Amino acid sequence: MRKFAAMMLSLFLLVSLIPTAGAAQTETKASQIADVKGDMILMEDGTLWLKRPWAATGYMKASIDATSFGKPYGYALTSKGELISWDDHDLPTVDKSQNSIKYLAYGAYIKKDGTVWYYDGKQIEGLKNIVLYERDYMSHVYLTTSGEIYHSYIRDAVLDKVEDPYSIVSLLMTSDNDVAYMDNTGKVVVVKAHHYDYNDGKVTFRPKVLTNDAAHIQYNSDNALVVTKKDGTVWMSGSYKDQDKLVKQVKGIEKAVKAVPYYGTLHETKKVDDPNNTITVKSSGITMLVKHQDGSWKVHVGDKVTNIKAPESTGIKFTTSNAQPAVGNTIYFKVVQQYNNGYKETLSNESYSMEIDKPHLLKVAKDGSYKVTGVGEAKVTVKAGEKSQTLTITAKLGKNLTGAVNLNNVTYLPIQTVFQSLGGTVTYTAASKTYDVTIGTTTIQLKVGQKNAKVNGKDTAMEQAVREEKGKALFPASLLSKSLGAKLQWDTKLQQMKVSFGSAFMVIESADTPKIKKQDEQGTLVKYLNKSFWVNSYKNWERFSKVTVTDIVPVGSNNFQVVFKDAKGNTLQSDIMSKDFVSRVLDDSYTFLSYDPYKKYSWSAATWESIKASKISIGMNKTQVEFSWGRPNDISKLTSQQTTIEVWSYGSQYVAFTNGKVTQIYTL
């Protein structure tokens, strides 16, 4: 029984570290170079690296299952026999409609059924049962399943015939219509299309064995055959009459398995003092690309040798859209592979593994995003190949909880909302008034009226028993420290509890907290509460009507909205204003009066109606004019012995007072 329990516990701990993305991992062994052509590198894992000077890093990468290059530039073959193509400004793409290909030649390919097709998908008529095919701009050479080698230079004439056509591993031609082929034993035969005998209407060519120990052959631009021998040396045929002889060993090349003329720039060195990095330094001499027996690739230019190395990963950069989200938020992760050539690649989910130490805090969605399901700190680790990196997600609660109760120096918190906010599940059994809580790998059982909780099956003493208040079950907050390692902080001023896990936290307010916070925010504005005002000029409210401040509501960012009630019991709301502006509006007699104007001024009803209608007339006093038209833009005053004349200007309108009474109203 103990063995079974131990086994189940081990299984439970194992699944708690859930690999949530990219179950497949990059191979720990770095992929090697399979082939090099010009400024292109083909890796053994099918990846293509293309040198692109106009690209941000100078390189572009395509993981596309390539197995061999085509001719000319811009073509390759997949392991499924599909055609890959690209140009100077686009990444390679696979044309699945061109398939069942077994070999790529110059401008054409051979299908597995022995037919030959151009790269544009058009079949070359008259060619069938073809084993090998090669072409130049104007002519082509091919080997048939019957072992016959033909050249388009002389139609219907057999250049040579081999006993086993499938033993031929390489078939080449030059612009001078010379042909060379090599079989799987290393025998190399050359045939000159211009050199033949003609007797009785029959053409007979003169094939000649060049060597019997070749590992690889390739013509250069001068139509000399470059032969890599099995002993690792490299030789070249002569020119003209010596084209069927190996006359020159290429010095400095040893232990080679393949040597070809090289026309790329992978070996070129950037000139240090060139700000645009466009000038290159070249050495004189023949340029050869060599694959060595140890799998290394090198460019030989005279006596200068440059290693061609595959781009290598220098590390990964692991980022998230939000490292400090709130519960309920959706976040995204991004893994970027960095290479020593400056290239950066955003990895797909399948290219790396991911582990979350607290998977109950983050749940993966179908689109690869993650929903934050609980308060806490989760460590997220990604691994790509041998590179790994860890991020910490600190999740807080976006909105405070309610229901904290402080009794006799013991703080109680609501069971349901608190544990659910921590990413847990809560199951209630009414018959026993029992709450079963699961948070990650921790289980907690609470019963109403009991002082002991069961944490992972073991009794844990609490300060007080679980209690019920207004239909909600509450538990002593200190249990969170004992069972989950939380840090607790009771705010005596705001009457609320802060529960922290590292930098992650949530706050549970008491019933008094909102009122305390509101008063704290209101500050000196509380002096206006329950105070009455009379409207002078504000928001087209009825002038001189009595309104009483019933509330001053904080709306965030130190802004407030003042709530009034008029004499009829109607609720009126001010504009949203800053704290300072609330005082300015309520204390300014232009907007609100702190007294009842009807009681202070015993004016006739007709006068009050004129004022409300913004009308003035001869005989009005200055107070009446100010109530009616407001404060003037400007005042000019002239005083004699017994007469004082004032002129108030309102834009282009003027009001003249003599000894405080309106005597003239005019417009300029």
DSSP for 291-359 reads: EETTS-EEEEETTEEEEE----EEEEEEEES-SS-BTT-EE-EEEEEEETTS-EEEPPGGGSEEEES-T
pLDDT at 285: 62
Location of structure tokens 């006359």: 247
Q: Is the pLDDT at 16 greater than 80, yes or no? A: no
Confidence category of residue 11, pLDDT binned at 50, 70, 90: very low
For the chain, domain boundaries: 33-308, 320-395, 401-511, 517-598, 601-667
Contact 76, 68 (CB under 8 A): yes
Q: Which residues contact 468 (CB under 8 A, 6 or more apart)?
A: 448, 474
Residue 270 is predicted with a pLDDT of 56
Range among 132-146, 185-199, 300-314, 616-630 rated most confident: 616-630
| Longest CA pairwise span in the chain (Å) | 150
Average pLDDT, the chain: 91
Q: What would the pLDDT profile of 351-368 be if each residue is shown by its tens digit?
A: 899 999 999 999 999 999
- Percent pLDDT > 90 in the chain is 80
pLDDT digit string, tens, across residues 587-601: 999 999 999 999 999
Q: Which two tokens stand for residue 607?
A: 């006068």
Examine the pLDDT at 9 and tell me if it is beyond 80: no
Q: What is the pLDDT of residue 269?
A: 67
Summarize pLDDT for 155-199 with one digit per residue, the tens.
Answer: 778 999 999 999 999 999 998 888 999 999 999 999 987 788 888
Q: What integer pLDDT is reported at residue 241 of this predicted model?
A: 73
- Provide the angle, in degrees to the nearest 10, between the axes of the packed helices 605-612 and 622-629: 40
Closest CA to 225 of 179, 183, 284, 272: 179
Give the helix ranges, DSSP H, for 433-503: 478-484
Other CB atoms within 10 Å distance of the CB of residue 156: 6
Q: What is the pLDDT of residues 49-90, one digit of tens each?
A: 998 877 777 889 999 999 999 987 899 999 999 999 998 888
Query: Which tokens hold the place of 485?
Result: 């390692």
What DSSP letter does each residue of 72-141 carry, written as one string? STTEEEETTS-EEE--TTS--EEETTS-SEEEE-BSEEEETTS-EEETTS-B-TT--SEEEEEE-SS-EE
Counting Cα atoms < 13 Å in the Cβ hemisphere of 652 gives 2
316: closest CA among 403, 384, 266?
A: 384
Any bridge partners for residue 336, and if so which?
Answer: 317, 346
What's the confidence (pLDDT) of residue 244?
Answer: 83
> Two tokens at 350?
């399948």
- Report whether pLDDT(213) > 50: yes
Q: Which CATH class is domain 601-667?
A: alpha beta
DSSP code per residue over 612-639: HTT---TT-BHHHHHHHH-S-SEEEEEE
Confidence (pLDDT) at 29: 61
The CATH code of domain 517-598 reads 2.30.30
For a pLDDT cut of 70, what percent of the chain falls above it? 93
Do the beta carbons of residue 85 and residue 107 sit within 8 Å? no
d(CA 82, CA 91): 16
For the whole model, what pTM was predicted?
Answer: 0.70
As a whole number of angstroms, the distance between CA 209 and CA 215 comes to 15
Q: Which among 538, 519, 633 has a CA at the least distance from the CA of 593?
A: 538
Element (H, E) at 182: strand 178-183
pLDDT at 14: 38
Mean pLDDT of 464-491: 97
Does domain 33-308 fall under CATH 3.40.50.620? My reply is no
pLDDT value at residue 428: 97
pLDDT in tens, 265-284: 998 865 444 444 433 334 44
What is the pLDDT at residue 22?
46
pLDDT at 499 over 50: yes
Distances (CA, A) of 24 to 73, 345, 353: 33, 17, 7
For residue 1, the model assigns a pLDDT of 40
Query: What topology is assigned to 320-395 in CATH?
Result: Immunoglobulin-like (2.60.40)
Phi, psi angle pair for 276, to nearest 5°: -95, -5
pLDDT digits 0-9 by tens, 553-567:
999 999 999 999 999
pLDDT value, residue 650: 97
Q: Give the Cα separation of 64 and 79 in Å (integer).
A: 10
Domain 401-511 has CATH 3.30.457.10: yes
pLDDT at site 136: 85
pLDDT confidence of residue 18: 40
Whose CA is closest to 145, among 106, 178, 116, 186?
116
Give the helix, strand, coil percentages of the chain, each rounded to 5: 10, 50, 40
Q: Which residue type, as a one-letter code, is found at position 630?
A: G
Distance CA 470, CA 489 (A): 24
Q: What's the token pair of residue 301?
A: 């230019």
Q: Are 572 and 563 in contact (CB under 8 A)?
A: yes
Q: What is the DSSP string of 373-428?
A: -SSEEEEEEEEETTEEEEEEEEEB-SS-EEEEEEETTEEEEEHHHHHHHTT-EEEE
Amino acid (one-letter) located at 183: D
Angle at 360 between CA 358 and CA 364, to 5 degrees: 100
